[in-house]
Amino acid sequence: MEQKIVAFCTLGCKVNQYETNAMMQKFIQANYKIVEFAEKADIYIINTCTVTNMADKKSRQMIRKVKEINPASILVAVRMLCPSR
């Protein structure tokens, strides 16, 4: 069986980075290969923040980028709720 490939993009605060790292560890444990976001992957996970209009804009840009890199990929957009908000 071919190893599945996943790529992550984190937008936002340090809390988002921590959450992305936790997700990455789960995928590693499940035997996924993690690659840079600009590389072709089976799954793309965008851990985003929507606190500001700029963050929203960056999120939409990254979503469009995924579909340019690999239109057949699975795209997951995650928006965690910041405890300070």
Is 85 part of a structural domain of the chain?
Answer: no
Is 84 part of a structural domain of the chain?
Answer: no
CATH code of residue 40: 3.40.50.2300
Is 18 part of a structural domain of the chain?
Answer: yes
Q: What is the pTM of this model?
A: 0.86
Q: Check: CB of residue 71 under 8 Å from CB of residue 40.
A: no
Tell me how far apart the alpha carbons of residues 31 and 75 are, in angstroms, rounded to a whole number: 19
Domain with 55 in it = 5-79
Residue 8's Cβ-side half-sphere holds a number of Cα atoms within 13 Å equal to 20
Number of domains the chain is built from: 1
pLDDT digits (tens, 9 = 90+) for 17-69: 889 999 999 999 999 999 999 999 999 999 987 676 777 888 889 999 999 99
Beta pairing class for 43-48 and 5-10:
parallel
For residue 36, the model assigns a pLDDT of: 97
pLDDT at 83 over 60: no
Q: Check: CB of residue 5 under 8 Å from CB of residue 38.
A: no
